[in-house]
Chains A and B, each alone.
Chain A
Amino acid sequence: MNHISPVLWQFLIHWLQQFAIFPPEASTIAPYADALYFTLVAVTIVGLLLVGGMVVVFSVRYRQERHPQAVQIEGSTLLEATWTLIPLGIFLVFFVWGALLFFRIYNPPANSMNIYVVGKQWMWKVEHPGGQHEIDTLHIPAGVPIKVTLISQDVFHSFSIPAFRVKRESIPGRYTTVYFEATTPGRYHLFCTQYCGTGHSGMIGWVYVMTPEKYRQWAAGTTSGSSLAQNGERLFSVMGCNACHAGNSQARGPNLYGLYNSRIRMTDGSTMIANDAYIREKILNPSLHVPAGYVPIMPTYQGQISEEGLIELVEYIKSLDSRYRLTQMMNKSELDSAQPAPIGPANQGVGAAPLQHAPASGVPKP
């Protein structure tokens, strides 16, 4: 829409912001969402004028004083077909337009930076890959695509940033994702929009969008010293996971190196993709789907590890995959090169396997 007249567009946005008719546009998605919204509003107004016009004009022209005798009309197939097909056509246009936007918001590009968010009564716990933890705040760099992976520790919550026009439910027992790329540095509302009990209206916070340079400083100053994957590695040994998942040929459990995003064949003949949800489910409910060639001897860790702990374990197991590590590293360097300052020391995930390690796929070797 802004190619019609940038000046007019800017003026309109300014005027609307003064009167707070719509929230600031602070993500790459926001202008697309607003364009769709304004079109929808325009169509609504046209429809309303049409119906309202009919009602008002007919009420004036055919009121009883002026038109004492009604003329009986059966109907008109042509007219009715018109007002069936035209609305249908308009609705279908919105269906396609809305679907395109939907798929954009919920399908993050491969080079997105990963942030994990756990919703719990009544706070948002944010876990950055570099090991930074936050509660009810989210610091992100502008100009970098960000994929937020959500889960809830108790009830349904919903992660909403109106200025980005994105929202995603945080569900107990299930990872969901949402993607955005912030454009304008500033401070924006973060809401929980799903009713979650007494503290629902207190489950709000702020999103701080920073320039990449500022973000790097913030990240360096806030980290707890070890990355999410390193925390996961520690938890992995504390829970005794490496007793079975030692990664050698004598191990009783599958090798986890290169597991992430590979296709696994199950004992029942089906195949599953080893994504985040798969890894989480394997820790909590290992006997539900058993990979071919293994016996279900793994005990469940249900109730023993918090959602944050699970995220650390998942991140660790992901980091054992060289492709994942490579993307993460490339994102990091992209972020670093986005600002003029010299590239600082990378606080990257643990390098547990050599980079040239060929990505495993198909059936994991026992």
Chain B
Amino acid sequence: MSTILSLPDQTTAKLPRKHFLNQEYGLRSWLLTSDHKRIAILYLCSITFFFVIGGVLAGLIRLELLTPASDLLATDTYDKVFSMHGLIMIFFFLLPSVPATIGNFLIPLMIGARDVAFPKINLLSWYLFVTGGMVMLAMMVLGGVDTGWTFTVPLSTHFLNTNVVAAATGVFIAGFSTILTGLNFLVTIHRMRCPGMTWFRLPLFIWGHYATAILQILGTPVLAISLVLIILERTLNIGVFDPTKGGDPLLFQHLFWFYSHPAVYVMILPGMAVMSEVISTFSRKRVFGYTAVAFSSVAIAVFAFFVWEHHMFIMGVSQYSALVFSLLSMLVAVPSAIKVFNWSMTLYKGSITFEAPMLYAFGFIGLFTIGGMTGIMLATLGMDIHLTETYFVVAHFHFVMVGGMLMAYMAGIHFWWPKITGRMYPETMSQVAAMMTFIGFIVTFFPQFILGYLGMPRRYAAYPADFQVLNVFSTAGASVLGIGYLLPMLYLPWSLVYGKIAGDNPWQATGLEWQIQSPPLTENFIEIPIMDHEAYDYDWLANKTRHEVQTVG
């Protein structure tokens, strides 16, 4: 297998003498840091912790569903397990996954800035995230919650005796960390670009995060409102969602999905942002149709706010409003389709190599296409009636969120690992992990589409025996998938000590972040760079490399 990898001579290679990781030592230097790179690593550790919890819960779900009866877990326990799986994975892993880790690390580096606009607020957002996470953990230890991640009223307000208030508080607090991160990114991208870094010279990674930041800032407050209303309704009985007091339980769903649909774009847009970088680098080509890809991110961010009712087509909303929302949901799919085609076309006449990040990116394209097309099926009004609230929906959003987003996250972590740590991850092992993830994922979630069309409802602890065969497939696939995720958790820490020294730019990528030492200095750039070329300009990179060789020689 050929490679574009250009590592320095390993017999003499050394990590840079001074970088952000050895600038200061000790717990204090981490907990009080305002360096965006260190905060990114704090986030990386915390979300990995929550991913493990969420993953174990997912394993329990799949084991319980191996048999039709509710035998491994009691029904109540099962309800808690899937609720907490959803809450943890969405609010404490997927939402912060790429933006708070990779985004936090890279946005200043990519636009040629020394830090984000508000470094202390950046640290505050991590503390808010951890506080929210601690509340969640306390809630789990004290007995958990079984509302489902959607907190549907009046179930969550009047019919459950579990820790609903604690769970809502945890998510509420973590929500502010999202808002602050979004705010920080928005201001950073507007105000901190280096000279010459015009909007259309920005890497597409930045465009994706810009769109994400808009959604985070405008959407998350609505979630906060709905969670506060839940808490007030539950503790003070204020009655906004209670039909016997003149309230409307459907109002909650409108509020909740007004946030939670944009939230899925908060999750997927940063993944798409990673994709553009990875695909371009490993095919050594400028992303096909840069402007279309950039604007499709913004288009997704705008449309995202006007499709929420497609979660409620069967809920007695006006049939004419359902028409409007179905149409808008069709429209929001178009920019995603444009992106997929543009990425595929980027490969045309490229010079492609197949390192682990690229394999993950290929996985993303395949799985996200399936996830997107099944989204069209669900947006199709008459079809949604049969498909919604079944395993079809479960499979659909796992294809987008896990097949899409998690693949992109893994691609990103592997791609920038040499930049973050200065060392390479083990290549063959990572390629194996990427393939296992892909195969395991397909075997886990593809049967769920069929289960869904057969009518198997979501969130069932026990199910009719007709559905068992497909569930066994799904559980078998989940074990492969589990190993696929476990491997990187083992070899990535291993590579911190034993990985090959990476050098500044092992992938020969064009981004500004690759033109500085790995790991970077605390202040990122010794002097602020001047951007004098387009993004993804491989000719510029080739010239620069030749020039360097001449001066050294």
Contact = CB atoms under 8 A, between A and B. Distances in A.
Contact of B314 (A99, A168, A189): A168
B70 A58 contact: no
Contact of A37 (B289, B345, B453): B453
B292 interface: yes
A91 B373 contact: no
Interface in B58-81: 70, 75-76, 79
A84 B380 contact: no
A22 interface: yes
B48 to A, nearest CB: 29
A219 interface: no
B154 A155 contact: yes
A75 B374 contact: no
A63 B4 CA distance: 11
B390 A193 contact: yes
Interface string B524-553: 000000000000001100000000000000
B382 A99 contact: yes
15 contacts: A23-B455, A52-B366, A68-B351, A70-B349, A72-B285, A79-B289, A84-B337, A94-B379, A98-B384, A156-B249, A169-B315, A173-B244, A195-B152, A198-B146, A302-B244
A45 to B, nearest CB: 9
A22 B353 contact: no
Contacts, number: 291
A310 interface: no
A98 B383 contact: yes
Nearest to B457: A193
A179 B198 CA distance: 57
A51 B353 contact: no
Instruction: List the 5 closest A-B pairs by CB distance, nearest first.
Output: A101-B382, A162-B455, A173-B243, A98-B380, A102-B381
A174 interface: yes
B155 A196 contact: yes
A98 B381 contact: yes
Q: Which of A73, A79, A102 has the most CB of B within 10 A?
A: A102
Nearest to B344: A54
Contacts of A52: 366, 369
A1 interface: no
A295 to B, nearest CB: 20
Interface string B73-117: 001100100000000000000000000000000000000000000
Given A23-B453, A69-B351, 14 more contacts: A44-B373, A54-B348, A62-B350, A70-B283, A73-B285, A75-B289, A94-B376, A102-B313, A102-B381, A105-B382, A162-B454, A195-B458, A198-B75, A198-B79
B370 A199 contact: no
A106 interface: yes
A232 B366 CA distance: 58
A40 interface: yes
Interface string B322-356: 11001100110110011011101101111111100
B316 interface: yes
B306 to A, nearest CB: 15
Interface size band for B: 35 or more
Contacts of B246: 285, 288
Given A94-B376, A102-B319, A285-B246, A201 B463 contact: yes
Contacts of B354: 59, 63
B250 interface: yes
A306 B323 CA distance: 34
Contacts of B351: 62-64, 67-70
B26 interface: no
Nearest to A102: B381
Contacts of A195: 79, 148, 152, 155, 458-459
A248 B2 CA distance: 94
B455 to A, nearest CB: 3
B160 interface: yes
Given A21-B450, A106-B319, A160-B457, A36 B2 contact: no
Contact of B538 (A40, A72, A104, A162): A72
A353 interface: no
B330 A91 contact: yes
A128 interface: no
A194 interface: yes
Interface string A52-94: 1011001100111101111111111001100110011001101
Nearest to B289: A75
Contacts of B289: 74-76, 79-80
A265 B406 CA distance: 57
A105 B385 contact: yes
A73 B319 contact: no
Contacts of B322: 102
Contacts of A80: 289, 292, 338, 341-342
A51 B362 CA distance: 10
Given A101-B381, A105-B382, A55 B314 contact: no
Contacts of A87: 333-334, 337
Contacts of A76: 288-289
A58 B348 contact: yes
A154 B347 contact: no
Q: Which of A71, A91, A100, A192 has the most CB of B within 10 A?
A: A91
B155 A156 contact: yes
Contacts of B362: 55, 59
B118 interface: no
Interface in B350-396: 350-354, 362, 365-366, 369-370, 373-374, 376-377, 379-386, 388-390
Nearest to B454: A23
B132 to A, nearest CB: 24
A274 to B, nearest CB: 19
Interface of B: 2-4, 70, 75-76, 79, 146, 148, 152, 154-155, 159-160, 243-244, 246, 248-250, 283-286, 288-292, 313-316, 319, 322-323, 326-327, 330-331, 333-334, 337-338, 340-342, 344-345, 347-354, 362, 365-366, 369-370, 373-374, 376-377, 379-386, 388-390, 450, 453-455, 457-464, 466, 538-539
Contacts of B338: 80, 83-84
Contacts of A158: 314, 389
Given A37-B377, A176-B316, A191-B455, A64 B385 contact: no
A142 B460 CA distance: 30
Contacts of A197: 79, 146, 155, 159-160
Contacts of B316: 168-169, 171, 174, 176
Contacts of B455: 23, 160, 162-163, 189, 191
Contact of A99 (B323, B341, B344): B323
A344 to B, nearest CB: 35
B347 A303 contact: no
Contact of A171 (B70, B283, B315, B380): B315
Interface in A1-50: 20-23, 32-33, 36-37, 40, 43-44, 47-48
A167 interface: yes
Given A64-B352, A160-B389, A48 B369 contact: yes
A293 interface: no
Contacts of B290: 74-75
Contacts of B313: 102
A55 B330 CA distance: 25
A65 B350 CA distance: 11
Nearest to B157: A155
A69 B538 CA distance: 11
A347 interface: no
Contacts of A168: 314, 316, 385
Contacts of A285: 246
B510 to A, nearest CB: 11
A169 B311 CA distance: 12
Contacts of B377: 37, 40, 44
A174 B380 contact: no
Contacts of A194: 152, 389
A91 B376 contact: yes
Nearest to B155: A155
